[in-house]
């Protein structure tokens, strides 16, 4: 049976600790630490969460102490600048060490965003950025292997994100034997399918360490969980093969609704209603 958890972002310290307690009070198994997470928020969370409740952390978290709380994440996979790649390797390794210290099994890696939109510039940028991504990924996989952590890559959904599910499948072959898994995102994969591309779940079969549960509006924008158009019933067989369900309780207006996440997860975890006439020991 999958574990059930909630993504937790580092709002102001008193609030993030209250959110963590609220999630655990709802019966979730734990949380995944998400962007942003500055050190003050982490210290507040550390006091509020039992160690067993830390199930994942996003790459590059927690941010360095020197980073101001109004600054965005300065690190990225796939930079064409050698110095920025060194910084990404250094901070990514810090996240792996953090995961080791706190016994967090999974380090989630976001897709990168591409800038060019028109061919041939888009194809050239994609190739160059994926080559840079591969260099950083290889170094981080070495560190993850040493500390027995798993890097779980979220494949992109839109055309301007990389790696795609197919490109991630290539990485699985290239880095066979390394601690590399997939972390699909239901909203991103819906966008991928809407683009008329191959079934992403087939490409990731047997390699998903976790899945992010996010709902979708009609224009493929995020919607509050349970209030969008995601066909959860058709997704259920895919989700059952993922050992960790990580619900995203953030609402489009920036709210936090773990109760909606709990209702969705509870409904998905129940056995589907049987269809058609049923016969058995006590039925004619």
Indicate whether 7 pLDDT > 80. Answer: yes
The encoded tokens of residue 104 equal 């967090």
Q: How far apart are CA 111 and CA 108, in angstroms?
A: 10
Q: Is residue 277 part of a domain?
A: no
- The whole-number pLDDT of residue 193 equals 84
- The whole-number pLDDT of residue 42 equals 94
- The whole-number pLDDT of residue 274 equals 56
pLDDT digits (tens, 9 = 90+) for 104-115: 999 999 999 998
Do residues 200 and 192 lie in contact, with contact meaning Cβ atoms separated by under 8 Å? Answer: yes
Q: Which residues pair with 212 in a beta bridge?
A: 185, 246
- The whole-number pLDDT of residue 253 equals 84
pLDDT digits (tens, 9 = 90+) for 231-282: 999 999 999 999 999 999 999 888 999 999 999 999 999 866 655 544 332 2
Q: Is residue 148 part of a domain?
A: yes
- The whole-number pLDDT of residue 280 equals 33
Indicate whether 283 pLDDT > 70. Answer: no
Q: Is residue 125 part of a domain?
A: yes
Do residues 117 and 160 lie in contact, with contact meaning Cβ atoms separated by under 8 Å? Answer: yes
Contacts of 174 (CB under 8 A, 6+ apart): 134
Indicate whether 37 pLDDT > 80. Answer: yes
- Across 106-131, average pLDDT: 92
Indicate whether 183 pLDDT > 80. Answer: yes
Give the 3-state secondary structure of the chain.
CCEEEEEEECCCHHHHHHHHHHHHHCCCCEEEEECCCCHHHHHHHHHHCCHHHEEEEECCCCCCCCCCCCCCCCCCCCCCCHHHHHHHHHHHHHHHHHHHHCCCCEEEECCEECCCCCCCHHHHHHHHHHHHHHHHHHHHHHHHHHCCCEEEECCCCCCCEECCHHHHHHHHHHCCCCCEEECCEHHHHHHHHHCCCCCHHHHCCCCECCEEECEECCCCCEECCCCCCCCHHHHHHHHCCCCEEEECCECCCCCECHHHHHHHHHHHHCCCCCCCCCCCCCCC
Q: Is residue 115 part of a domain?
A: yes
- Across 13-26, average pLDDT: 94
Q: Is residue 283 part of a domain?
A: no
Percent of the chain past pLDDT 70, that is, above it, reads: 95
Indicate whether 206 pLDDT > 60. Answer: yes
- The whole-number pLDDT of residue 116 equals 75
Report the domain count for the chain.
Answer: 1
Q: How far apart are CA 19 and CA 48, in angstroms?
A: 9
**Looking at residue 212, which CATH number applies to its domain?**
3.20.20.150
Contacts of 21 (CB under 8 A, 6+ apart): 48
Q: Is residue 278 part of a domain?
A: no
- Across 177-191, average pLDDT: 95
Entry pTM: 0.93
CB atoms within 10 A of CB 134: 17
- Domain extent at residue 177: 3-269
Average of per-residue pLDDT values in the chain: 91
């Amino acid at each position: 049976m999958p574990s059930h958890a909630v993504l937790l972002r580092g709002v102001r310290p008193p609030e993030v600790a209250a959110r963590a307690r609220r999630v655990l009070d709802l019966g979730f198994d734990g949380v995944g630490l998400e962007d942003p997470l500055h050190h003050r928020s982490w210290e507040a969370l550390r006091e509020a969460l039992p160690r067993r409740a830390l199930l994942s952390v996003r790459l590059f978290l927690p941010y360095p102490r020197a980073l101001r709380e109004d600054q965005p994440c300065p690190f990225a996979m796939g930079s064409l600048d050698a110095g920025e790649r060194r910084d990404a390797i250094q901070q990514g390794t810090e996240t792996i060490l953090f995961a080791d210290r706190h016994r967090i099994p999974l380090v989630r890696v976001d897709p990168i965003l591409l800038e060019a939109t028109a061919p041939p510039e888009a194809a050239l940028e994609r190739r160059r950025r994926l080559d840079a991504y591969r260099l950083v990924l290889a170094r981080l996989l070495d560190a993850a292997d040493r500390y027995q952590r798993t890097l779980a890559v979220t494949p992109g959904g839109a055309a301007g994100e990389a790696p795609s599910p197919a490109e991630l499948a290539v990485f699985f072959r290239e880095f066979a034997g390394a601690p590399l898994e997939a972390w699909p995102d239901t909203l991103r994969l819906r966008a991928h399918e809407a683009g008329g591309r191959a079934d992403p779940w087939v490409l990731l079969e047997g390699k998903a360490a976790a899945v992010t549960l996010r709902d979708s509006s009609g224009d493929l924008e995020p919607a509050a969980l349970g209030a969008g158009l995601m066909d959860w019933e058709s997704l259920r067989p895919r989700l059952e093969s993922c050992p960790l369900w990580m619900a995203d309780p953030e609402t489009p207006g920036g709210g936090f609704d773990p109760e909606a996440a709990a209702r969705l997860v509870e409904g998905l975890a129940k056995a589907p209603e049987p269809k058609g006439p049923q016969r058995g020991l006590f039925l004619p």
